[in-house]
Structure 1
Amino acid sequence: MTEFRNESDSLGVVRVPSDMLWGAQTQRALNLFTIGHERMPREMITPYAILKKGCAQANHAAGTLPTEIMELIVRVCDEIIDGRHRDMFPLPVWISGSGTQFNMNVNEVIANRCSQLAGESLGSKKPVHPNDHVNKSQSTNDNFPSVMHMSVVIETFRRLLPSLRMLKDHLSTKAKAWMDIVKIGRTHMQDATPLTLGQEFSGYAAMLEESLYRLDAGLGEVYALPLGGTAVGTGINTSPGFGEDAIANIAELTGLPFVPVRNIFAAQGSHDALVHFSGLLKTLAVSLNKIASDIRLLACGPRAGIGELILPANEPGSSIMPGKVNPTQVEALTMVSLQVIVNDQAVSLGGTSGALEMNAYKPLMIRNLLHSIGLLVDAMDSFRINLVDGLEPNRERISDHLNRSLMLVTALAPAIGYESAASIAHHAHETGQTLKESALELGLVTEKEFDQIMVPEKMTRPHD
């Protein structure tokens, strides 16, 4: 049987499981918001502890928080930062649009753990009170969006950028290795002039490098925190300079360049920086979808399709067709890409729904932002390890497609004119001849001229 203790808040007494560190307001939220199965993002727990630690240190420096209280709060925050007490944050995503209950969950856990360390009973709010001490100089309206920014920055630096950089580097390695494999290009899904497989893959690597630049630039806005604005941006119930001092502490604790926002009213009334960053995640997803889809297309077959790339045979592809190899890593990455695009739509709708001095769609927005980052990281790592690293060119098939393509005739156009070159292509297609046979039969070029001009390798580097 579960044992309970009584805790109280401004509305009265609430029964809380006796072995849990949360308090009355968290328990009320658990009782009132039984919506879905998703908890508030785990990626927000450590940043919230960092923020509470930085705020306690700033309040102590301002002379508004006693040393013993500050030290207890800092000690508990360090425990949370070290990964302890993770199961004490049980709230679902779908709570108040401000995130108030999650902020209070953090406040209550810290206060109750301080009580334990001080030898006091849980729920006594001695010697640390969740509102008066842990939440001192703060409102959910400024600390929750600050933690939203912090968690996005931390996850981007810790996971997203390294994963993206590794995938880009591995595609670059393939591009360099395949730079001399001449193949037929394709536009409108039809044969076009030649390029090398390396040139093709260099484009994929460059797309991801450009995403790295975009994300790095987009982080510039996300570094700015509205902490210190409290309820509506005026900074009521704070000491002078509190926000700046707390943010400086956060920057030092994380090693990341967090700074105060230029205008707190803008940052608390809207979340445009996060909407913009979500758009950058969507752009990355669009790039990944194009890269993966191209690889799937080039590998289709292996005998009845293009078949120019050989996929690693990771698993049986069919429950009924023996020997089938399917582009399953492509399918996983493209599904993730579409999910990230949809997540961005939710972030955009949340961002546009703020009213006056506060946006009440914060949990929705941060859930989708962090969900996108996590999915992108996992999918890029899987795609790199299980597909890109084992991908090989089918040189024989590439050569066969190249030599049979009619679009090599493009190189003849400057010498004999567009219409004469077109007549060679049409004649070759109708008769089944090669371009050379057709050109000589039509008498539009000599054999020597044809051999000098019709060199696919030169077509890939016409200015060398």
Structure 2
Amino acid sequence: MTEATGLTYRTESDSMGERQIPSDAYYGIQTLRAIENFPISGIKPLPTYVDACVLIKKATAIANGALDCIPQEITRAIVQAADEILQGQFRDQFVVDVYQAGAGTSHHMNVNEVLANRALEILGDKKGNYQRVSPNDHVNYGQSTNDVIPTAIRIGALLALEHTLYPALSDAIAALDNKADEFQEIVKSGRTHLQDAVPVRLGEGFRAWAQILADQMSRIERASEDLMTLGLGGSAAGTGLNTHPQYRQQVAQILSQLTGQPLKPAPHLMAAMQSMAPFVHISGSLRNLAQDCVKISHDLRLMDSGPKTGLKEIQLPPVQPGSSIMPGKYNPVMAEMTSMVCFQVMGYDSAIALAAQAGQLELNVMMPLIAYNLIHSIEILGNTISVLTKRCLEEITANRDRCLSYAEGSLALVTALNPHIGYLNAASVAKESLETGKSLRQIVLERELLSPEVLAKVLDLEQMSTLPKSEA
């Protein structure tokens, strides 16, 4: 005990010597060295990543216990410790900075030490008595950072997709489809190049966004299939050294049961450990989603611009005051936030691509960066889409009169005249309308280019803005 702080310590040793560890800490000496070596960002491992690592340790303990590779009482203690962590306990014990030792050895040993020390308590022993339960010889039996960390990235990404991104996308698609139905009869001016274009239905614009997100979700689901093939069992360098012959298959089956995912062993363990391609693939699909989300969020901001000097075709729900100096101002903050998050995801994707190509020989040592960036991308995208849906998309209202006014005043209506009066005549009519302020209808009738009855049919906004029905 030190007089200044009242803290007590235990002594632990590793291959480099002895160190004093706070008695109440569940981490051990190798974690302490990592804390000292990597005071970089203050960013700790994501809870989902911790879950993934602990699920792997639970599955490996069950498999190794069943194969008589570790004693049954130790298996039970490790499994109980893992369950406690998965239920939310001891979360403050995972303390290694995201930017750490290559391959993730520091975080891996942090997990091993916390599980070992909690297992010791469960068995009625003292923390640090690694002769009884060892972080390396028991919790890590038949494993290596080389196969555990890439497996944890896979499991963490699958968990994040299942719990965060997929539900958020499903809700957003439903909200946009609902708004599409609500706004289906509202005609507005289309715009290409930010210039007037032919009339469109406001509802179809929302339905297009719903389809875009549905397509992106399908792409992500297809990319995620790569994550379900595990290199666990490869041990050091993919050789399977110190593993039971049946371990590889059993641990994949157990992890499948624990996660609810159809996991399977990789056909070539060395390949599964060396290539980061599955992570680049899923990250690329996230970047693709982010790019479309930016487009949608920018469209929302443009359509809500105003209220007096912009388009103001729709009203986004005001959720907070928009200015520290201008009273009564409300900004499209949910759409703005969405773009910022998406830009971050695109940056993470670039970092993942750089890290993925930086492996040498039997190992890619940049996996800690990939783990954080990939899982974080999934979770912040999911959280963003979720709050955008609840605090913006579901409460959007339409300015029907403004939409119709723009549609009726658009020079692009002249496009519908092309088949009836020819492109050059139509261009001349548009030019005169712009110069004189006369309506297209007035000019066509003055020039006697069409009869009033035919013109009424040609410039029918409802008909012009109706999409053709798709064939069954």
- TM-score normalised over the length of structure 2: 0.96
When residues 463 and 107 of structure 1 are mapped into structure 2, their CA distance, relative to the original with a 3 A threshold, is: closer
Match of 1:254 in 2: 259
Instruction: Say if 2:179 is the partner of 1:177.
Output: no
Opposite residue 155 of structure 1, the aligned amino acid is A
C-alpha deviation, 1:42, in angstroms: 2.1
Helix, strand or coil: the match of 1:7?
Answer: strand
- Distance in 1 (CA, whole Å) between partners of 2:181 and 2:303 is 18
Residue number among 334, 342, 348 corresponding to 1:337 in the alignment: 342
**Are the equivalent residues in 2 in contact too, given 1:424–1:442 (CA < 8 A)?**
no
Helix, strand or coil: the match of 1:146?
Answer: helix
Match of 1:461 in 2: 466
Correspondence 1:17-416 to 2 at 5 A: 17-416=22-421
Counting aligned pairs with the same residue, the percent is: 39
Helix, strand or coil: the match of 2:103?
Answer: coil
C-alpha deviation, 1:161, in angstroms: 0.4
Of 42-51 and 135-144, deviating more is 42-51
- Distance in 2 (CA, whole Å) between partners of 1:170 and 1:178 is 12
**Are the equivalent residues in 1 in contact too, given 2:165–2:383 (CA < 8 A)?**
no
Opposite residue 78 of structure 1, the aligned amino acid is D
Opposite residue 423 of structure 1, the aligned amino acid is S
Instruction: Say if 2:438 is the partner of 1:443.
Output: no
**Structural RMSD (CA):** 1.2
- TM-score normalised over the length of structure 1: 0.98
- Distance in 2 (CA, whole Å) between partners of 1:35 and 1:320 is 38
Opposite residue 120 of structure 1, the aligned amino acid is D
- Distance in 1 (CA, whole Å) between partners of 2:428 and 2:454 is 17
**Are the equivalent residues in 2 in contact too, given 1:115–1:126 (CA < 8 A)?**
no
C-alpha deviation, 1:462, in angstroms: 6.4
Of 45-54 and 192-201, deviating more is 45-54
Structure 1 residue ranges (4+ consecutive) displaced by more than 3 angstroms after TM superposition: none
Opposite residue 255 of structure 1, the aligned amino acid is G
Mark the runs of 5 or more structure 2 residues left unpaired by the alignment.
none
**Are the equivalent residues in 2 in contact too, given 1:40–1:363 (CA < 8 A)?**
no
**Are the equivalent residues in 2 in contact too, given 1:248–1:258 (CA < 8 A)?**
yes
- Distance in 1 (CA, whole Å) between partners of 2:15 and 2:306 is 68
Q: How many residues align?
A: 464
C-alpha deviation, 1:45, in angstroms: 1.4
Mark the runs of 5 or more structure 1 residues left unpaired by the alignment.
none
**Are the equivalent residues in 2 in contact too, given 1:118–1:127 (CA < 8 A)?**
no
C-alpha deviation, 1:43, in angstroms: 1.5
- Distance in 1 (CA, whole Å) between partners of 2:60 and 2:325 is 61
